[in-house]
Amino acid sequence: MKRVIEKTVRWILTGSGFVTSVVILLIIGFLFTEGAGLFGEPVIEEGYVLAVNGENPVKEMSAEEIKAVFDEDITNWKELGGPDLAIETFRLEDADEYFTEEELGPQYGNAGAAIAALVASRPGMVAFVPELMIPEESGLNFIEDRNISPGEVLGGREWFPTATPSPLFGILPLLAGTLWVSLFAILFALPFGISIAVYMSEVASGKVRGFLKPVIELLNGIPSVVYGFFGLVVIVPMLQQVFGLPVGESGLAGSIVLAIMALPTIVTVAEDAMRNCPRTLREASLALGATKWQTIYKVVIPSSMSGIASGVVLGIGRAVGETMAVLMVTGNAAVIPSSILEPLRTIPATIAAELGEAPAGGAHYQSLFLLGVILFFITFAINLCVEYISSRNRAKNN
């Protein structure tokens, strides 16, 4: 009977592990499939075309150039390799400015022919209209459409997924914001975390340590939205007043909040590593005439460096993946930051803010899954660093 129970438990545990592994692989596969689908989407909004005069030689435009044309940042075709002509833009909602209701016909029945004639009569015009509206024998040229390329996404400097006629999915601002705020969070948290760990491990009495350790570990259980509210109510107004900023929501506010959130992880792991330092090393150092503080920074900390580094890397992982607190205090500006005092946006905050508004299956929806893939690789690299540091620590102890 005992053997049957053992076999049953073993099979249950094996089955649970197998099912869990399969589910995780399916989730990862779904994430990668949805994210890769972005590169099969057209640059110009699906179902629409950019029609130009038949004599206009311009055949190709990048997504950034299309947006610049319709934002009137590019105003002459010679800037795009065409003739020296002023650019006129036309959208379907502009039809009432050019045509009467009679010319457009009932339910816009004649709109396609009228728009085609308008573009044909104006050499510098570019029209963003539904493809089905343009007659087949209109004599117009069309800007060549193509699929979104990895270079435009991975090297793009502008994130504007709702832009028309061509959305922009450049992830550099989001990636820079994520790494920027995480870097400063660790720079703030590291000295405080190591100091607290040294105090708890080497200086504090057993009674004080017994009180502080559970309190610090309890900080890990506080919901991130509470940290976000604290940052929004306390840190953001303080930074705005101290630095004279127009708005206090900035990368610095996010870094401070993340530093507070990362502190418990760094302190707990580093303190455990220091307490595991062999007692013989401490005694040998003291026997040679070193003071207690010399023993701490010349013996205890160097011998615990692998554990301390693991705590730091885990703290970085907590900062990189944080969503709600960062969303509340960083300002959510999708621009490449040049200063920590500027608003910025991180990858997790972007996914949380935009996924509910993105049409399922569309390019915007798929771009958010691609951001999830990038975040997966970042956290995967962080976990590899933790495993490498831990393996070195085990090898050193053995």
Concatenated DSSP letters of 228-266? HHHIIIIIHHHHHHHHT-S-S-SHHHHHHHHHHHHHHHH
Backbone angles phi, psi at 105, to 5 degrees: 80, 170
Helix intervals (H) in the chain: 2-36, 63-70, 95-98, 101-104, 111-121, 150-154, 172-198, 206-218, 224-230, 236-243, 251-275, 279-287, 292-295, 301-303, 305-321, 324-329, 347-354, 363-397
Q: Rounded to whole angstroms, how far apart are CA atoms 95 and 112?
A: 10
CA–CA separation, 87 and 305 (whole Å): 63
**Closest C-alpha to 47, from 110, 134, 111:** 134
pLDDT of 320: 83
* CA–CA separation, 332 and 353 (whole Å): 9
Length of the chain, in residues: 398
In the three-class reduction of DSSP (H, G, I as helix; E, B as strand; rest coil), residue 44 is classed as coil
Q: Which fold has domain 172-397?
A: MetI-like fold (1.10.3720)
Query: Cα(364)–Cα(362) distance, rounded to whole angstroms?
Result: 5
DSSP secondary-structure letter at 109? T
pTM for this structure?
A: 0.86
Alpha-carbon gap, residue 312 to 318, rounded angstroms = 10
Q: Considering Cα of 229, then 235, then 240, then 246, what sign does the dihedral take?
A: negative
On the 0-12 / 13-18 / 19+ scale of CB atoms within 10 A, 264 is buried
Cα–Cα separations (whole angstroms), residue 231 to 13, 49, 215, 223: 43, 46, 20, 13
Q: 48-146 architecture in CATH?
A: 3-Layer(aba) Sandwich (3.40)
Long-range contacts (CB closer than 8 Å, 24 or more residues apart) made by 292-295: 292/202
Distances (CA, A) of 298 to 189, 200, 202, 261, 295: 22, 18, 13, 29, 5
Note down pLDDT in tens along the chain; length 398 residues. Answer: 777 788 888 888 888 888 888 888 898 898 899 999 999 999 998 889 999 998 899 999 999 999 999 998 999 999 998 899 999 999 988 888 898 888 888 887 888 889 999 999 999 999 999 988 888 888 899 999 899 999 889 988 999 998 888 999 999 999 999 999 988 998 999 899 889 988 988 888 888 888 888 888 888 888 888 999 999 999 999 999 999 888 889 999 999 999 999 898 889 888 888 888 888 888 888 888 888 888 888 888 888 887 888 888 888 887 888 888 888 999 888 888 888 999 999 999 999 889 888 888 889 999 999 999 998 888 888 878 777 776 766 666 55
Question: Are residues 347 and 179 in contact, defined by beta-carbon separation less than 8 angstroms?
Answer: no
Domain boundaries, the chain: 2-40, 48-146, 172-397
CB 62 within 8 A of CB 44: no
Distance CA 40, CA 56 (A): 28
CA–CA gap between residue 339 and residue 78 (Å, rounded): 36
Neighbour tally for 314: CB within 10 Å:
20
Predicted local confidence at residue 374, as pLDDT? 92
| Alpha carbon distances (Å) from 260 to 152, 187, 195, 225, 228 | 36, 12, 14, 13, 11
pLDDT of the residue at 397? 57
The closest of 183, 193, 174 to 332, measured between CA atoms, is 174
Residue 249 has φ and ψ, to the nearest 5°, of -65, 115
